[in-house]
Every structure is written in structure tokens, then in C-alpha cells.
Amino acid sequence: MSEESRRILNLLAEGKLSVDEAERLLAAVAGVSGGTARGGGSRSAGAGAAVEEPVMVVKKAPPRFLRVQVRSSGDQDHVNIRVPLNLLRAGMKLTALLPEEAREKVQAAMKEKGVPFDLDLNKMNPEAIEEVIEALCDFTVEVGDKEDQVRIFCE
């Protein structure tokens, strides 16, 4: 018998745990010590009662970086940029503070380069910023040919 099981039974004997609580804890300890990660099933205990086994849920950590990689098959330099998503959040919030004439100049310069950039950043609320970042996290771009490869993704 493991130390955890012994401790649970002592708490039951002292009246600090109910029988149901002790049964659930013992089942959890048995599942962990057995090294199995089964979920939703039931197994029979020594007294013939069905005991639910714990369900182990593994959540994927949210991405923290936007990564841009450019690889060329030549003597050219490779590009590998990691931008923290928190920096992106802060930058989007700060752009809302730009004066109108500065924003117009930025938009004109972007249009001149062929990039339509008509976002009204004053209307961006925190929820909208989070939606943009969430969309970026589900977004992966891979462009490549025999010589060059470009990847944009979140990690």
C-alpha cells in the first residue's frame, strides 16, 4: 500500500473524509501510481462498487510568439524573427494614440508600397485586439520554392 493510500485511509478513520471522498481519492491515487491515463471509464473496486477513474486533461499552452522565418538556398542571410505577442498587443494599443495626421501619413506610405492599411485603430478595443491575436495563432503561412522558403506562425 502506498503512502498516499495510507494517508487517505487515516483521514477516513479520523472522520475528516467521507467514504465517497476517500473512494474518489483512492481511485485517483491508484490511477496515478499505475501510470495510466484512462478517462471516463469505470473499474470495479474490491467491494464490487464501480469507481470512476480520473480524467487527465492536457491543455496546450497558448502561443507566446509570432515567428517569421525566411530561408534562402544561397549565400544570403536567413531571417528568423520571434515577436512576443504581448509586444504586439501593446503596439496595437499604442497605435490608437497616434495623432490623426500621423495615421494618415502612415496609411499613405503603406498604400504607396501597395499595402492597403485602412484600419481605424481608435475603434480597436481589447476584445478586438485579442481576436486578431487569436486569429494569428490559428494562422500559418508557408510559401516556398526550390530555393527560398518563408514561414509565418505562432509558437
82 and 115 housed in the same domain = yes
Domain housing 79: 65-154
State pLDDT tens for residues 50-62.
Answer: 555 555 555 667 7
Structurally, the chain folds into a number of domains equal to: 2
41 and 17 housed in the same domain = yes
State pLDDT tens for residues 2-52.
Answer: 788 888 888 888 888 788 888 888 887 777 655 444 444 444 445 545 555
Determine the Cα–Cα distance for residues 115 and 120; give it in Å rounded to an integer. Answer: 15
- Domain assignment of residue 60, yes or no: no
pLDDT at 73: 78
- Domain assignment of residue 59, yes or no: no
C-alpha torsion 59→60→61→62, nearest 10: -110
142 and 70 housed in the same domain = yes
133 and 77 housed in the same domain = yes
39 and 85 housed in the same domain = no
Determine the Cα–Cα distance for residues 132 and 120; give it in Å rounded to an integer. Answer: 14
| 31 within 8 A of 45, measured Cβ to Cβ | no
